[in-house]
A and B are shown apart, each in its own frame.
Chain A
């Protein structure tokens, strides 16, 4: 690696354009919103940045605390379900025959690359009252009803007068379902990366020394894969916490998350300072989670160095 002052011209050629762009069109907007979070709304579009903490205080209002709490709960539940589902999937991919591995990995990554909006839309199409799941259920109901009529029990309406479609959308369950659907690949990939790095001989040694498969899993696989688990948990938790589209499209009036509140402050409610404060609270949580992850990976390299 060269020191920058040994090749000043080359250095500035490479360094300046991206850095200037980042400062101007990314850091400056962020700084502006950060400033707004300490500001006060004066008139329709005017905001005075006067160092007030009022916006942050307002975020502690029980109404918003409840939404924060709910967002955390949704994100945590999502992460937990993803971990429970993702771990066996990651194990299965890790120990799959070599020629299957890339295909399975590709299948895991591919949904990543499909538009988030379209994936969410697909869930709506499948789950809504006139959706495919309900259609299949209705078809089943009709057959069952006809079968009952055929054996002479038709008048009793054992299955109800009419088919009642299942209400699978616009509630909290739908939001968590959608979040899991969207974020599962985020969990599987770091878990896979950690498991793939794991030396097979550790597992073999454990089995050879008399531990059962379960015991080996608990006292060898999990501790060694821990950095990967931490990484996966954080990588899943952060975007889940900041989700906007999933609760917006799949949730009911009671399933709003922080991002939806932020959006409302900036669009319909037009209270930018408060929206800015909420948005930066979300950022602080993100930074905290990232710091945790960095600490975990530092712990890992320290462990490997030892």
Chain B
């Protein structure tokens, strides 16, 4: 393909990626997307209350955020909810993925559509639905921690597990059914074949789905906003109330921590997906 790699030739007719104005568009777009976040992160380390002049590097706003009890409480709440929600979503999502992948059953089309609803409907609609639902059934409030987080956790599971189902099902689509048959042929029971062959095969999808569920839960603001009460504040909800109030380096610091966590988890998920993608075995259909 790339003949004359050493010389710089004029871009070929289809090498749009090598045209200057194309590169400029890309650069401008990425600056647009990243500059605000980058500035936010940078100024979380700025030793100045006024926040806009660089006065030297400091960790003091991280320390301040760390000593802000209500912020830390919100953070712990968020992590707790994310853990429980991830666990439940992964199990439910995987079951749903296998059910849809493996079985033919009546009304499968509508079932699949209903399963996709939490992914596609506007967040505000789901938020108010959850608010109305928990109020209507008289969900108890004022329970001791962590039970008071129940409503938020349930809402998070509801919008997370369909995402897990999508990820796991995508992985299953490439499964060579002969592997399952081979296990059965060699004497494994249905359950043994599931445990020894299908689960290990799904594992990368499972982990990627779990990580996705975790970041979805950790990041959600709108739906949580409608299901949280005064004593069940999550990190995004706390940040929201702080942001409404003022822009402070503490919020910058707290946001930076959240971004770092999300990026780390996303990185792991992408790495796992890339690795499992590269290990496709030759098989039929």
Whether both chains belong to one complex is answered with: yes
Known A-B contacts A1-B103, A110-B266; A279 and B39 likewise in contact (beta carbons under 8 Å): no
Tell whether, in the assembled complex, residue A21 and residue B92 are in contact, meaning their CB atoms are under 8 Å apart. Answer: yes
Asked whether B206 is an interface residue with its Cβ less than 8 Å from the other chain, the reply is no
> For chain B residues 106-120, which have a beta carbon within 8 Å of chain A?
111, 114-115, 117-118, 120
- Return the CB mask of B64-98 against A: 1 if under 8 Å, else 0: 00000000000000000000000000011101101
Asked whether B130 is an interface residue with its Cβ less than 8 Å from the other chain, the reply is yes
Most chain A Cβ neighbours within 10 Å, of B136, B157, B236:
B136
Chain A residues with CB under 8 Å of B251's CB are: 121
CA distance A12 to B15 in the complex (A): 53
Tell whether, in the assembled complex, residue A14 and residue B13 are in contact, meaning their CB atoms are under 8 Å apart. Answer: no
Asked whether B203 is an interface residue with its Cβ less than 8 Å from the other chain, the reply is no
Chain B residues with CB under 8 Å of A290's CB are: 120
The stretch of B19-27, B55-63, B141-149 that contacts the partner chain:
B19-27
Most chain B Cβ neighbours within 10 Å, of A135, A279, A290:
A279
Tell whether, in the assembled complex, residue A272 and residue B37 are in contact, meaning their CB atoms are under 8 Å apart. Answer: no
**Chief secondary structure at chain B's binding surface:** helix
Select from chain B the residue with minimum beta-carbon distance to A290.
B120
Most chain A Cβ neighbours within 10 Å, of B15, B124, B218, B252:
B124
Chain A residues with CB under 8 Å of B30's CB are: 107
Asked whether A266 is an interface residue with its Cβ less than 8 Å from the other chain, the reply is yes
Q: Say how far B276's CB is from chain A's closest CB, in angstroms.
A: 15
Chain B residues with CB under 8 Å of A286's CB are: 120-122, 125
Q: Say how far A263's CB is from chain B's closest CB, in angstroms.
A: 7
Cβ-defined partner of A92 (8 Å) among B26, B92, B95, B258? B26
Known A-B contacts A15-B99, A279-B128; A92 and B23 likewise in contact (beta carbons under 8 Å): yes
Tell whether, in the assembled complex, residue B236 and residue A115 are in contact, meaning their CB atoms are under 8 Å apart. Answer: yes
Select from chain A the residue with minimum beta-carbon distance to B194.
A10
The stretch of A30-38, A53-61, A144-152, A156-164 that contacts the partner chain:
A30-38
Q: Say how far A35's CB is from chain B's closest CB, in angstroms.
A: 9
**Chain A count of residues within 8 A CB distance of the other chain:** 89
**Chief secondary structure at chain A's binding surface:** helix
Tell whether, in the assembled complex, residue B129 and residue A95 are in contact, meaning their CB atoms are under 8 Å apart. Answer: no
Known A-B contacts A91-B22, A114-B259; A11 and B99 likewise in contact (beta carbons under 8 Å): yes
Asked whether A123 is an interface residue with its Cβ less than 8 Å from the other chain, the reply is yes
Asked whether A100 is an interface residue with its Cβ less than 8 Å from the other chain, the reply is yes
Asked whether A249 is an interface residue with its Cβ less than 8 Å from the other chain, the reply is yes
Cβ-defined partner of A15 (8 Å) among B15, B103, B135, B262? B103
Asked whether A232 is an interface residue with its Cβ less than 8 Å from the other chain, the reply is no
Asked whether A197 is an interface residue with its Cβ less than 8 Å from the other chain, the reply is no
Most chain B Cβ neighbours within 10 Å, of A11, A29, A85:
A29
Instruction: Tell me the number of A-to-B contacts counted with CB atoms below 8 Å.
Output: 258
- Return the CB mask of A82-126 against B: 1 if under 8 Å, else 0: 000100110111111100100010111011011111110111111
Chain B residues with CB under 8 Å of A280's CB are: 125
CA distance A244 to B127 in the complex (A): 11
**Chain B count of residues within 8 A CB distance of the other chain:** 85
CA distance A36 to B131 in the complex (A): 12
The stretch of A199-207, A222-230, A296-304 that contacts the partner chain:
A199-207
Known A-B contacts A128-B247, A283-B125; A113 and B132 likewise in contact (beta carbons under 8 Å): no
Cβ-defined partner of B125 (8 Å) among A89, A130, A279? A279
Chain A residues with CB under 8 Å of B99's CB are: 11, 14-15, 18-19
Tell whether, in the assembled complex, residue B103 and residue A2 are in contact, meaning their CB atoms are under 8 Å apart. Answer: yes
Cβ-defined partner of B33 (8 Å) among A2, A17, A97, A184? A184
CA distance A91 to B255 in the complex (A): 33
Asked whether B43 is an interface residue with its Cβ less than 8 Å from the other chain, the reply is yes
Tell whether, in the assembled complex, residue B33 and residue A181 are in contact, meaning their CB atoms are under 8 Å apart. Answer: yes
Question: Besides the contacts A126-B40, A135-B53, what 20 more A-B pairs have beta carbons closer than 8 Å?
Answer: A2-B102, A21-B92, A22-B114, A22-B118, A29-B126, A33-B133, A89-B26, A92-B17, A100-B17, A107-B34, A113-B262, A115-B219, A117-B240, A121-B239, A121-B251, A130-B50, A131-B52, A204-B14, A249-B243, A263-B124
Would you mind naming 18 contact pairs between A and B with Cβ atoms under 8 Å apart? A3-B104, A11-B103, A22-B158, A22-B162, A26-B158, A29-B129, A30-B125, A88-B22, A100-B17, A113-B219, A115-B258, A126-B39, A130-B50, A184-B29, A184-B33, A238-B122, A245-B222, A263-B128
